[in-house]
Amino acid sequence: MPPRTVVIGVDSSTQSTKAAVVDTGTGRPLAVGRAPHAVTGGAGARESDPERWWRALCEAVSAGLGESGVPASAVTGIAVAGQQHGLVVLDRSGRPLRPAMLWNDTRSAPQAAALTAAAGGPDAWLARTGSVPVASVTASKWQWLRENEPRAADAAAAVRLPHDFLTERLTGVAATDPGDASGTGWYSTATGSYDSAILRLIGLDAALLPEVAETGATCVGPLAAAAAEALGLPAGIAVAAGTGDNMGAAVGLGLGGSGLLDHPVLSLGTSGTVFAASRTRPTSAALSGFAAADGTYLPLACTLNCTLAVDRIAALLGLDREDAAPGGEAVLLPYLDGERTPDLPTASGQLTGLRHDTTAQQILGAAYEGAVVTVLHALDELLRACGLDPADPEVAARPLRLIGGGARGRAWVETVRRLSGRPVIVPAGDEFVARGAAALAAAAATDGDPVAIATGWDTDEGARLPALRRDSATWERVGTALEGAVRSLSAEGPYPGTGRPGTRG
């Protein structure tokens, strides 16, 4: 019997790093090491120290290997899937000039609106990059840096995304992939390359950017000696280009060119995300028209307020997160950090419909409903971008794959079932971002197809829950409140005093 080989898939997320040690043959996770991150900032700012990401990666890999009992010599490859959109600016020695601006940093919302107008409006951006700038997009953050911290922007010798930064630490090679690059705002999904006109608009030299590998599974270099020593791994093992966290999750679920297409996924985490793999290049202003890690496309919509926002409501009410009941007449839009989808960067939470008999449990249930209806509205737009009619009974009968921390919560699962009216699959495994990164690492080590590898690991096993009758009354009540919030902020403008136009809603 040949010796066991393993790969390591790294999920470097907003709040922590997870390193999954995965059996290459079976896909069975042998262990998952974890290490936390710190996020700082207020008044729209969300920042982290990239050096902490690297230390967390080293700690998580060490913990995972130790728990697995597998010798380091069995590791054949490693790949990183990281939080998207973050802006990392480095000096000539590769050290961060300042903390990274994270995806949920909303300070650059005015810059996003200004860039949208400067390049010809939403339709022009969709044609070029597949997405319209919002505060999350890296180009908006770079423009904010130029306007607010010009010394840091002028001193930048390299500009990276979070996963690019870590991959470069692993290999010494500046590399990214089409999937994560498509979230920057300066990469064109139409041409498969950086958009020179956009780079000129934001004053960014292409020489500061990493090369774009063909796919996230492309081997971009051997593990460098210094990184190998820090990680306790053999020097020279394969390092894949890696990708963004959402693209990694898609691979981990077996979605892509050789697997499931147009099967929607709903991820319930810090953010609420819906995505599907598609061979059709999406062009909808309501979506991010991302590339996937494997050469297909990954239309995606992301909300800012999901599990953390609902947990905050539970804490304010003194309730356990599971101690929720249907909201009744109460409607709560939990937009505690502004909102990205719909594009309401200055929004706050809104609570209406209170009665004398409204209970704390119903208010918490209304928070769940507000978060779920928001993300399901985005799902309908995603399906349209894939050429599907959400009202078509055949389309509505396709199961919704539910992942993320919320997928392990009864209240989240039941609220999604009640408001979607869809069958739901809750995959048996977890850590799909890390598993997807592991599949990319295995593909880099063997020159294989990462989606085929992940599919061979039985990624689609799990609980299959039948469809419930849709709660149309709650859907309509929350949807009306959502539309009212969009109209209200559109009327006053999302950036009071700037004269900027209203939200794209």
SS3 annotation, 38-92 = CCECCCCCCEECHHHHHHHHHHHHHHHHHHHCCCHHHEEEEEEEECCCCEEEECC
Question: In this structure, what DSSP letter does residue 505 have?
Answer: -
Q: Which residues make beta-bridge pairs with 278?
A: 297
**CB-based burial label for 331 (10 Å; 0-12, 13-18, 19+):** buried
Q: How far apart are CA 439 and CA 285, in angstroms?
A: 31
- Sequence-ordered list of residues with C-beta below 8 angstroms from that of 443, at least 6 positions apart, any chain: 217, 240, 449, 450, 453
- Sequence-ordered list of residues with C-beta below 8 angstroms from that of 154, at least 6 positions apart, any chain: none
CB of 78 within 8 A of CB of 441?
Answer: yes
- For 390, phi then psi, to 5°, come to -60, -25
For residue 497, the SS3 value is: coil
- For 415, phi then psi, to 5°, come to -65, -40
Q: Which residues make beta-bridge pairs with 243?
A: 81
Cα angle for residues 272, 277, 278 (degrees, 5° grid): 130
**CB-based burial label for 258 (10 Å; 0-12, 13-18, 19+):** middle
Instruction: Retrieve residue 412's tokens.
Output: 């989240």
Residue of 494, 183, 133 whose CA lies nearest to 338: 494
**Catalytic residue list contains 430:** no
Give the largest CA-CA distance in the chain. Answer: 71
For residue 212, the SS3 value is: strand
Marked catalytic residue, from 105, 177, 245, 294: 245
Instruction: Retrieve residue 253's tokens.
Output: 């679920």
Which region holds residue 265: left if phi is over 0, alpha if psi is between -120 and 50, else beta? beta
Q: How far apart are CA 363 and CA 295, in angstroms?
A: 44
Question: Which amino acid, 246?
Answer: N
CB of 166 within 8 A of CB of 17?
Answer: no
Active site residues: 245
